[in-house]
């Protein structure tokens, strides 16, 4: 067996995809199940530690984990030969596995879009990382929170679709 044969390459991208996905969904769930619900319990004098140190660092890893998950997933689908059929939700192949992984791919793509185009731009405003009017911060925080909550809800069927495609079909 050659060191970098096709099987090993597919394994490498599957491992990178899972590793990235664990970081992405782990941080998503941390934000929505730990940080956000507990912010009201934190004394005001301690909140800058979250907004100035922890949140920016977590958001860095969050957005790049989303990008890495998306890219490694697309490469994995291409290497395995189901990229087009899965994007078409199995309608071109008639294969249930393509439909399952396709739904997971679409949910993941929507979630990655939310991270980069809604959550991150609004979090930069909410955290004061970019110049904005003072009254823009609460509206930006709400937009980011709603997109993050949407991603949390999408993560459940996304994970189901991804795991079912690998285990049921």
- Is the confidence at residue 8, as pLDDT, over 60? yes
Alpha-carbon distance of 80 to 42, in angstroms, equals 48
| Cβ-based neighbours of 80, under 8 Å, separated by 6 or more | 10
- Is the confidence at residue 1, as pLDDT, over 60? no
Q: pLDDT by residue (tens digit) across 38-87?
A: 999 999 999 899 888 999 999 999 999 999 999 999 999 999 999 999 99
| Cβ-based neighbours of 22, under 8 Å, separated by 6 or more | none
pTM for the predicted model, two decimal places: 0.90
Q: pLDDT by residue (tens digit) across 27-37?
A: 999 999 999 99
- Per residue, what are the HEC states of 49-93? HHHHHHHHHHHHHHHHHHHHHHHHHHHHHHHHCCHHHHHCCCCCC
Mean pLDDT of the chain: 94
């Amino acid at each position: 067996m050659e060191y970098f044969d096709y099987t090993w390459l597919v394994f490498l991208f599957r491992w990178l995809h899972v590793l990235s996905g664990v970081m992405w969904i782990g941080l998503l769930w941390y934000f929505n199940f730990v940080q956000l619900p507990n912010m009201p319990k934190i004394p005001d004098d301690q909140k800058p530690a979250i907004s100035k140190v922890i949140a920016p660092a977590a958001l860095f890893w969050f957005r790049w984990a989303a990008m890495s998950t998306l890219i490694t997933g697309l490469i994995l689908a291409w290497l395995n030969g189901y990229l087009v059929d899965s994007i078409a939700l199995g309608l071109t192949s008639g294969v249930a596995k393509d439909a399952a992984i396709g739904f997971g791919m679409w949910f993941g793509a929507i979630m990655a879009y939310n991270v980069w185009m809604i959550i991150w731009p609004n979090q930069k405003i909410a955290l004061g990382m970019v110049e904005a009017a003072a009254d823009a911060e609460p509206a930006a925080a709400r937009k980011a929170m709603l997109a993050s909550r949407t991603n949390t809800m999408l993560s459940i069927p996304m994970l189901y679709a991804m795991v079912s495609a690998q285990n049921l079909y």
